[in-house]
């Protein structure tokens, strides 16, 4: 018992390690071998790469880092257990040997007994071989770094389970049958323990266990049926397949389909004696949709009767034809009653590129011109630099003719072409050779790795021809001869290419645009909602939308009748007068003057915020109508200042308050006797927070001092003799006595100096009268 508990503790410890393991590069790519390579092939590749990248033998700046990566990759792949764990879980850490028993619980009994058999026995008919889930179990690391990237070309089905899920135990047998049926078709099956990986459960949209999820093209689709049968799963997969995975071909569009290879894809024609395409063909079409365009033909349809005679096929067998640029003769074909998936993959993978493919993406470059560091096994790629224009079709056709007649093995020499305007970065990297920025140039490249290439220009090649007679054209023959001489020379082990460059990945010319991505995303959201919204939720949503539409409809009808009534009133002449009166009554001036009263006293004076001031004009009942307009004009320029409030006060109502305010500023206890008429025209600026005020009055000494200063300056100008025109400007009969203020002051002139006083107020040069508190304003 203690031994089993110890194993369980080790299991928990190993689980924590699995969360923290680091992800390094793909070891298979580091060694340049496939995932099915044998131990001898791995060892041979390691020895060759170690010689190439050893820091003592290579001058490459990244030689030391590359050598370490190669060594780590070999250590992982040479260890059988670590390689198995990497293939299964995607774990590359050196500590991955701790994880050998992370998911395989079938080797021991955790508590020393079988809990299902102990409590329920075998009479319930449960298939207790839950070890199947453990053997197929993967981690979140494998899901993120293996399943999601591979789902662009391969279908994955994930079963979420739990050790204590009796529903999971019940469907083990059905899950086995699904694996036996669909795995030979190219679908990968894995399991994930929902208790260990809850984030993946939520990320895929699964809401319960057991739950099966299809991962297709980077998206997750939840299988919500409770019946796990082959027919139900096949229908589910068909429904989720992209609608552009293939097209229906008949006698009318077969020629158009076969001649569509200008999209840089091989044509695959599948002829079946049935109306519904087999699932294996759809899966193969999805796996190669970037390189091969599939067309499906129903031999039982009358619209396809001529194709059976044209291609001489047996109407009772399944037939596959592969076409490249030649739409008349197929490059490969097979006819069987039931074509195995492995046979399909072998035929399609061997012929997935055109005779002269366009290097339109990094994936195409990797397939046509794979990297090879071994000098004796170097792979050359002859590339034609051209533009996406019909005028260069003859040149491309000439190079295609040369490629078909070259006789070189596709494993050593490949021919391709490239659009200059699409792959400008790649061409700029190699332009330091003999590239003269002109088109129809041939370059031979050897890719040593994903970024480093060696290349050489074929200077004697000339493809600028005007006729498509490839057999009798001397320029084509000369170009072919020059290409052959260059290739034969460069294939020698001792021969090195002239130039070297470091390049970036090619631009993906087939990548979806922004609009296409949004449309694809929208379709996925619609499909997700259709799968997750049940009938009652749909009815509730439709009811809500119907209610909103009904409310908008009622509102529109009401607005229609209101407008109709307005038109009627306008026609009768009743709406204009009332409308104008309403506009006048609702008009709010841009500058509003408040009257100081007892109910507004606190807001205008006592409770003013810091930095705010109230500018107050004192009038009486007789002069209010005459003084407010000039006061309004004087303060109008400051109307947009948010720290100012403008108002006026009747001296009849606030005489006691004003008298008390002056007494507090003079610091005297005597009661002041004030004549209300002398207060008319006074403007006071109240700072409620700091408890001070400034005063303007035409007879105030501060204002008179300003006038006398102007008189003194004028007199100094008149005394100057250097400019005789000064007298004309000021007037010949000027005298100091004529400008002295008269003792008589009219109401119309009380606010003449208010604008200048306001300027001094905001400059801070006016005198401030401080008080201890604000007196109360009379209520009557």
The string of DSSP letters for 598-667 reads TTTHIIIIITPPTT-EEEEEEE-TTTHHHHHHHHHHHHGGGTT-TTEEEEEEEHHHHHHHHHHHHHHHHT
**What is the reported pLDDT for 34?**
81
Residue 507 has pLDDT above 60, yes or no: yes
Give the pLDDT band (50/70/90) at residue 372: confident
Distance set, CA 563 to CA 92, 557, 560 (Å): 75, 10, 5
DSSP labels for 723-767?
A: -TTHHHHH-TT--HHHHSPPS---GGGTTTTHHHHHHHHHHT-S-
**What is the reported pLDDT for 563?**
86
Say if CB 273 and CB 300 are below 8 A apart.
Answer: yes
Nearest CA to 613 out of 646, 644, 649, 592 is that of 644
Judging by beta carbons within 10 Å of its beta carbon (0-12, 13-18, 19+), is residue 707 exposed, middle or buried? middle
Distance set, CA 694 to CA 561, 616, 680, 758, 772 (Å): 59, 10, 16, 10, 15
For the residues 327-341, what does the mean pLDDT come to? 91
**What is the reported pLDDT for 742?**
47
Residue 554 has pLDDT above 80, yes or no: yes
**What is the reported pLDDT for 24?**
59
Q: Which residue has better confidence, 317 or 125?
A: 317
- Positive or negative: CA dihedral 668, 671, 677, 683: positive
Contacts with 699 (C-beta within 8 Å, 6 or more apart), sequence order: 745
**What is the reported pLDDT for 246?**
87
Tell me the CATH class for 247-351: alpha beta
Give the sheet arrangement for strand 332-336, strand by strand.
247-248, 292-298, 266-272, 318-323, 332-336
H or E segment and range at residue 400: helix 393-404
For the residues 411-435, what does the mean pLDDT come to? 82
**What is the reported pLDDT for 137?**
92
For the residues 676-693, what does the mean pLDDT come to? 92
For the residues 603-626, what does the mean pLDDT come to? 92
Contacts with 377 (C-beta within 8 Å, 6 or more apart), sequence order: none
Distance CA 183, CA 487 (A): 44
Residue 689 has pLDDT above 70, yes or no: yes
Give the pLDDT band (50/70/90) at residue 710: very low
Contacts with 253 (C-beta within 8 Å, 6 or more apart), sequence order: none
Tell me the CATH class for 362-502: alpha beta
Give the pLDDT band (50/70/90) at residue 533: low
**What is the reported pLDDT for 4?**
41
**What is the reported pLDDT for 540?**
76
Residue 719 has pLDDT above 70, yes or no: no
Does residue 210 have a cis peptide bond before it, meaning omega lies within 30 degrees of 0?
A: yes
Q: Which residues of 407-434 are buried (b: 16+ CB within 10 A; e: fewer)?
A: ebeeeebbbbbbbbebbeebbebbeebe
**What is the reported pLDDT for 330?**
92
Residue 7 has pLDDT above 50, yes or no: no
Distance set, CA 121 to CA 110, 127, 164, 691, 730 (Å): 18, 11, 15, 92, 123
Of 402-406, 658-662, 699-703, the poorest mean pLDDT is in 699-703
Residue 741 has pLDDT above 90, yes or no: no
**What is the reported pLDDT for 233?**
93
Residue 361 has pLDDT above 70, yes or no: yes
Residue 696 has pLDDT above 90, yes or no: yes
Q: What percent of the chain has pLDDT over 90?
A: 32
Residue 737 has pLDDT above 60, yes or no: no
For the residues 443-452, what does the mean pLDDT come to? 88
Maximum average pLDDT range among 98-107, 314-323, 386-395: 314-323
For the residues 140-161, what does the mean pLDDT come to? 92
For the residues 118-122, what does the mean pLDDT come to? 42
Give the side-chain half-sphere CA count within 13 A for 198: 1
**Over the chain, what is the mean pLDDT?**
80
For the residues 324-339, what does the mean pLDDT come to? 90
**What is the reported pLDDT for 525?**
66
For the residues 28-35, what does the mean pLDDT come to? 84
Q: Which residue has better confidence, 532 or 202?
A: 202
Distance set, CA 471 to CA 291, 384, 477 (Å): 30, 20, 8
The structure tokens 């266990």 sit at 209
For the residues 197-209, what does the mean pLDDT come to? 89
DSSP state of 41: H
H or E segment and range at residue 576: helix 575-586
DSSP labels for 96-142?
A: GGGGTTSS-GGGS-TTSS-HHHHHHTTTT-----THHHHHHB--HHH
**What is the reported pLDDT for 277?**
92
- Positive or negative: CA dihedral 169, 175, 176, 179: negative
Say if CB 617 and CB 591 are below 8 A apart.
Answer: no
Angle, helix 230-240 to helix 279-287, in steps of 10 degrees: 40
Identical topology for domains 20-91 and 247-351: no
Of 69-78, 287-296, 381-390, 523-532, the poorest mean pLDDT is in 523-532
CB atoms < 10 A from the CB of 702, how many? 15
Say if CB 161 and CB 210 are below 8 A apart.
Answer: yes
Say if CB 218 and CB 259 are below 8 A apart.
Answer: no
**What is the reported pLDDT for 224?**
87
Of 401-410, 616-625, 710-719, the poorest mean pLDDT is in 710-719
The 10s digit of each residue's pLDDT in 166-190 is 889 899 999 999 999 999 999 999 9
Distance CA 616, CA 593 (A): 9
Say if CB 205 and CB 155 are below 8 A apart.
Answer: no
Say if CB 705 and CB 759 are below 8 A apart.
Answer: no
Say if CB 719 and CB 728 are below 8 A apart.
Answer: no
DSSP state of 419: E
State if pTM tops 0.75.
Answer: no
Instruction: Please state the domain extents for the chain.
Output: 20-91, 124-240, 247-351, 362-502, 594-704+748-770
Give the side-chain half-sphere CA count within 13 A for 526: 6
**What is the reported pLDDT for 673?**
84
Give the pLDDT band (50/70/90) at residue 256: very high
Q: Angle at CA 296, nearest 5°, toward 292 and 301?
A: 165
Distance CA 203, CA 524 (A): 15
Distance CA 197, CA 287 (A): 28
User: Cα torsion for 499, 505, 508, 512, to the nearest 10°?
Assistant: -160
Give the ranges where 270-368 is alpha helix by DSSP (H).
279-287, 305-311, 341-350, 362-368
**What is the reported pLDDT for 463?**
74
**What CATH number has the domain spanning 20-91?**
1.10.287.110
CB atoms < 10 A from the CB of 256, how many? 10
For the residues 226-253, what does the mean pLDDT come to? 89
Task: Give the SS3 label for residue 159.
Answer: strand
Nearest CA to 694 out of 775, 770, 581, 611 is that of 770
Q: Which residue has better confidence, 64 or 214?
A: 214
Residue 310 has pLDDT above 60, yes or no: yes
Structure tokens at 460: 């004697």
Topology of domain 124-240, CATH: Glutaredoxin (3.40.30)
Residue 461 has pLDDT above 80, yes or no: no
**CATH classification for the domain delimited by 594-704+748-770, as one of 1.20.1270.10, 3.40.50.300, 3.40.50.2000, 3.40.30.10:** 3.40.30.10
Q: What percent of the chain has pLDDT over 70?
A: 79
**What is the reported pLDDT for 589?**
52
Q: Which residue has better confidence, 145 or 53?
A: 145
Q: Which residue has better confidence, 478 or 144?
A: 144
For the residues 429-439, what does the mean pLDDT come to? 62
CB atoms < 10 A from the CB of 596, how many? 21
Distance CA 639, CA 591 (A): 6
């Amino acid at each position: 018992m203690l031994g089993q508990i110890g194993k369980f503790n080790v299991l928990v410890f190993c689980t924590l390690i699995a969360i923290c393991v680091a992800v390094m590069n793909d070891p298979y790519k580091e060694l340049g071998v496939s995932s099915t390579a044998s131990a001898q092939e791995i060892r041979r590749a390691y020895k060759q790469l170690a010689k190439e990248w050893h820091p003592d033998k290579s001058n490459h700046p990244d030689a030391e880092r590359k050598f370490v990566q190669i060594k780590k990759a070999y250590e992982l792949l040479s260890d059988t257990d670590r390689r198995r764990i990497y293939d299964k879980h995607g774990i590359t850490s050196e500590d991955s040997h701790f994880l050998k028993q992370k998911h395989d619980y079938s080797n021991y009994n955790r508590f020393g007994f079988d809990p299902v058999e102990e409590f329920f026995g075998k009479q319930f008919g449960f298939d207790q071989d839950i070890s199947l889930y453990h053997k197929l179990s993967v981690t979140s690391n494998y899901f993120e770094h293996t399943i999601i990237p591979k789902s662009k070309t391969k279908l994955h089905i994930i079963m979420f389970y739990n050790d204590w899920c009796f529903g999971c135990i019940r469907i083990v047998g059905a899950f086995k049958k699904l694996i036996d049926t669909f795995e030979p078709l190219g679908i990968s099956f894995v399991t994930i323990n929902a208790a260990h990986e809850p984030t993946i459960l939520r990320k895929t949209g699964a809401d319960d266990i057991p739950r099966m999820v299809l991962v297709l093209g980077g998206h997750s689709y939840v299988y919500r049926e409770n019946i796990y049968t082959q027919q139900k799963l096949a229908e589910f997969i068909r429904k989720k397949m992209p609608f552009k995975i293939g097209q229906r071909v008949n006698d009318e569009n077969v020629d158009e389909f076969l001649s569509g290879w200008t999209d840089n894809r091989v044509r695959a024609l599948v002829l079946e004696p049935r109306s519904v395409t087999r699932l294996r063909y759809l899966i193969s079409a999805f796996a190669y949709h970037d390189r091969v365009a599939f067309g499906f033909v129903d031999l039982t349809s009358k619209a396809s009767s001529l194709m059976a005679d044209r291609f001489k096929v047996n109407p009772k067998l399944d037939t596959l034809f592969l076409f490249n640029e030649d739409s008349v003769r197929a490059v490969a074909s097979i006819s069987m009653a039931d074509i195995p998936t492995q046979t399909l993959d072998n035929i399609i993978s061997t012929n997935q590129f055109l005779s002269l493919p366009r290097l339109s993406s990094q994936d195409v470059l990797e397939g046509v011109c794979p990297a090879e560091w071994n000098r004796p096994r170097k792979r050359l790629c002859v590339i034609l630099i051209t533009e996406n224009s019909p005028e260069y079709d003859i040149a491309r056709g000439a190079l295609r003719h040369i490629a078909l007649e070259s006789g070189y093995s596709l494993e050593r020499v490949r021919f391709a072409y490239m659009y200059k305007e699409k792959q400008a970065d790649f061409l700029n990297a190699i332009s330091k050779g003999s590239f003269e920025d002109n088109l129809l140039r041939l370059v031979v490249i050897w890719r040593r790795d994903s970024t480093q290439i060696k290349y050489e220009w074929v200077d004697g090649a000339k493809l600028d021809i005007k006729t498509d007679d490839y057999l009798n054209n001397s320029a084509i023959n000369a170009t072919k001869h020059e290409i052959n001489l260059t290739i034969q020379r460069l294939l020698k082990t001792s021969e090195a290419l002239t130039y070297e460059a470091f390049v970036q990945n090619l631009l993906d010319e087939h990548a979806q645009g922004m609009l296409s991505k949004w449309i694809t995303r929208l379709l996925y959201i619609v499909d997700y909602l259709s799968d997750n919204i049940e009938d009652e939720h749909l009815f509730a949503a439709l009811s809500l939308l119907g209610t909103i539409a009904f409310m908008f409809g009622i509102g529109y009808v009401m607005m229609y009748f209101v407008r109709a009534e307005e038109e009627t009133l306008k026609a009768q002449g009743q709406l204009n007068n009332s409308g104008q009166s309403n506009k006048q009554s609702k008009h709010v001036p841009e500058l509003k003057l408040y009257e100081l009263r007892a109910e507004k006293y606190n807001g205008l004076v006592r409770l003013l915020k810091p930095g705010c001031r109230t500018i107050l004009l004192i009038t009486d009942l007789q002069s209010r109508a005459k003084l407010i307009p000039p006061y309004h004009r004087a303060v109008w320029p400051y109307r947009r200042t948010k720290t100012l409030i403008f108002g006026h006060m009747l001296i009849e109502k606030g005489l006691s308050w004003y008298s008390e305010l002056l007494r507090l500023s003079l610091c005297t206890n005597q009661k002041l006797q004030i004549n209300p008429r002398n207060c008319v025209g006074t403007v006071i600026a109240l700072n409620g927070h700091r408890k001070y005020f400034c005063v303007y009055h035409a007879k105030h000494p501060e204002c008179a001092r300003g006038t006398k200063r102007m008189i003194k300056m004028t007199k100094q100008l008149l005394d100057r003799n250097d400019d005789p025109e000064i007298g004309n400007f000021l007037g010949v009969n000027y005298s100091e006595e004529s400008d002295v203020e008269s003792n008589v002051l009219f109401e119309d002139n009380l606010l003449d100096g208010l604008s200048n006083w306001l300027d001094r107020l905001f400059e801070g040069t006016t005198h401030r009268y401080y008080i201890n508190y604000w007196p109360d304003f009379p209520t009557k």
